[in-house]
Amino acid sequence: MFLKILNDDEVKTCLKGITQKTFISGNSTQPDKIIKQNKESSNVSDKVRRLITDKLYDNHYCDSVYCPTRVSVNFYNEYKEGDFYNLHVDEFKARPKSKNIYFDYGWSLNLSDEYEGGEFVLTLENSEKVGKKLCAGEIVIFPIIYLHEVLPVTSGVRKNIVGWFSSNITYEQTYILRNLYAVSSYCSTNFSGSQHVSVQANLVQNYLKKIWGQSP
C-alpha cells in the first residue's frame, strides 16, 4: 500500500533529523556484494523516529488495516545516479538476535522528489510486479515476506528512511480489514444516503480488530 503520511514541513524535519551524515556503503550490510549499491546511515534523531512512529500509529488507514504495535525506524539511505537495490527479502528479526522480536511489515518512506528512476517494486504472491516512483512524504507498506527491489536511479538523489513494524493480527485478517475499509470508503464516496452502510462496516471492522487483537 502506498500512502502519503508526511507534509512538506515534516519531510524537511526528517531531513534535518539525520544528525550526522556519516554513511557506510550499503554493501557492508549484505554479504552478497552485487545485491545493492547505495549509502546508509543509522544516525536518525529521536525526534524523527518519534514523528514517523506517531504517523504510522495515527494514520487512519494504517491503524484500520494493519493494527501496528511495535515500530522500528531502521536507517536513512541515499541512492545516487546508478545506485540500486536488487530483488531481496528483508531479515525480519530484530537485533540483537537474542531478543525474540519479529516484524510483520516492512516500510520505505521517501523524502525527495528530485530524482528519476529509483522505482520501488514489489513482487506479489501471484508473481505480479507492482512498482512506483514515490513522491516526498509517501510511504510504501508491504508484508515483510514479499520480495522487493529499488530500480537504478537515473538522475538526482533518492532519499528515504526504512523500517519495519509488528502487527497483532495475521495477514489473512489484514486482508479482511482492508476489504471492509474499501467497502466503507466506496459507499461513503459514491452513494448518497449510504452513510449507515459505511458506519456498519466500520463497526464490524473495529469489532474484528478488538477480538483478533485479544487472541493469544
| Cα torsion angle, 127, 186, 4, 93, sign | negative
Could you tell me the pLDDT band of residue 65, with boundaries at 50, 70 and 90?
Answer: very high
Q: Band the pLDDT of 61: cuts 50, 70, 90.
A: very high
Q: How far apart are CA 194 and CA 185, in angstroms?
A: 11
Q: What is the mean pLDDT of residues 145-155?
A: 95
Distance in Å from the first CA to the final CA of the chain:
27
pLDDT in tens, 97-144: 546 667 899 999 999 999 999 999 999 888 899 999 999 999 999 999
The yes-or-no verdict on residue 93 having pLDDT over 90 is: no
* pTM for the full predicted model: 0.85
CB 42 within 8 A of CB 29: no
Q: How far is CA 3 from the centre of its chain?
A: 9
Say which residue, 30 or 199, is predicted with more confidence: 199
Task: Give the closest residue to 152 by CA, choosing from 59, 61, 96, 86.
Answer: 86
Q: Is the pLDDT of residue 22 over 60?
A: yes
Answer whether residue 192 shows pLDDT above 70.
no
Q: What grid cell was written down for 150?
A: 529499488
Question: In the numeric block, which cell numbers belong to residue 179?
Answer: 476489504
